[in-house]
Each structure stands twice: as C-alpha cells, then as structure tokens.
Amino acid sequence: MAAPWRVDGVSPGSGVRSGARAYPMRRTMFVLAVLGALICGGYLAVREAVRWAVAHPGPALGVGAVVLPLLVVVAVVAVRGMPRLRELRRAARAGKAEAEAEVAAMAATAPVAQAAPVVEVEAADAAPWRVEDFLALDADGFEQAIARLCERDGCRDVQVVGGAGDLGADVLATASDGRRLIIQCKRYGETNKVGSQDVQRFGGTCFTVHEAEVAAVVTTSTFTEPAADYAATCGIRCFDGERLVAWANGDGATPWG
C-alpha cells in the first residue's frame, strides 16, 4: 500500500502533528536562552560601565556624549523597522500557506497514473514501419516502441524510465554485448529538429549520472548541424527518422551496433 501523501511531516487525516509541536517548543527554549544571556550580559556590562564612570568621570562624559546619540539613532531605526518586519513576516506566512494549499490541491486532483501501452514492433510485420507510424504514437508509446525494438534485437533488462526527473534517460538497457545503453527519445515532427541544447542536456547526464557505455538520441525528425557536431564530439549516437525506420524494419543498424 502506498505511503500517505505528506506535507511538513503531517499525514492527511491522521490528526497528529508531533513535528509541528516539537519545533515551536525547541524554538521557545532557544529564544528564552538567548534572552537570558542578553539580560545577564547587559546587566554585567552596565554594572562595570557605572563603576568605570564613577572612577573616571571626565572620560565617562566624553564617551557618553558619543555613545548616547548612537543609541538613540539605533532605537529609532529599530522602532521604525518593526512594522516593516511584521509586514514581511505576514507576507512570508501567507506565501507559505498559499504554496501548501496549491500542493494539496494538486495532490487531491492528480489523476491516477495509467500504465503505458505495450507497443509491439516486429520486423516481420506485413507493412513496413514508416516515420508516420511512430508519430502516430504519443510520447509514452514512442518510448515503449523503442524499448520493444531493443528487446527484439537482443537487449536485456530493458526499462522505460522517461518522465519528470528522468535526467534525460528514457530507455535503459543492457546491450547484447554487455554494455550499458542509455537512449533518449525525441518524438518530433519533421520541421522540429533536435537542436544542440537538446543534445547538450542529454550529454550532461548520460555518461556522468547514468554511467552509459553507449548513449544515443533517437528521433522521428532530424538533427541540426550543431547538434550533430556536439554529439560526435561527446560520443553520442544520433538516430534520425530515416535510421529509426531502417532499424525498425530490420534493414539498418541498431543504435548500439
């Protein structure tokens, strides 16, 4: 059974806010300790200042003429700043409450995730695959199709992991020769080419984060020249729509071949 959704350590419907009680108690104890230290320190400082002033009345008058105006200025600034400080605190509390309410609303209305459809891709299909066939799939279906192609051609441990927070990896697999394969899927229309920024983002994670031994970007479209140049420099393999169709129909190389 999935763990209940939590915000600030509170489980909805539990009626328990132990974390919320513990935090104000610790904060109160800390504030009291600081106030006690300030009062004791202030008392000792004033007592020693009075003793010194009695013993040295001349220098005490000079110091007092300088220190007292500064204390007055500091007090005035502090008093004037208090309303602004209270205003900022109220705004901060209101912003936090609004953010928590938004998170709660999103969690309450979030649809239940549905399993991605299984897409069958076989080279022996009656009709050969075309780019339009891949474009007819949604983003999840396209990732599933690439995963099925990997399985068909001998990959093991194939996983579809695309989605929020995937750090560029859509399909993970182990190639038939044992190398770790990371594929990013780009289901783009003909006029929407995979650009240099797309490949750079993938290049920043595929080797360092996902520890790829083979990294490939597979798209239904094409790559811009800067994207292809960057991929060649980093060792990322580019599979455009034409190469994808050849792979699906068994007429071309695999991304890891």
CB 217 within 8 A of CB 206: no
Of the candidates 254, 244, 250, 239, the residue with the CA atom closest to the CA atom of residue 133: 244
Closest CA to 184 of 142, 155, 153: 142
List, for residues 17-61, the tens digit of each pLDDT value: 444 444 456 667 777 888 788 888 878 888 887 887 788 778 777
In this prediction the pTM is 0.53
CA distance 182 to 29: 53
CATH for the stretch 131-248: 3.40.1350.10
Buried b (16+ CB within 10 A) or exposed e, 105-114: eeeeeeeeee
Distance of alpha carbon 98 from alpha carbon 96, whole angstroms? 5
Of 165 and 49, the structure prediction assigns the larger pLDDT to 49
| Average pLDDT for the chain | 76
d(C-alpha 257, C-alpha 255), whole Å: 6
Tokens representing 19 are: 């974390």
By C-alpha distance, which of 209, 219, 213 is closest to 169? 209
Cα–Cα distances in angstroms (integers) from residue 46 to residues 41, 74, 76, 246, in the given order: 9, 18, 21, 88
pLDDT in tens, 124-162: 444 789 999 999 999 999 999 999 999 999 999 999 987
Pull the structure tokens for residue 35: 């106030």
CB 179 within 8 A of CB 150: no
257 vs 240: CA distance, rounded Å: 15
Per-residue pLDDT reduced to its tens digit, 52-100? 778 877 877 777 777 777 777 666 655 565 555 555 455 445 444 554 5
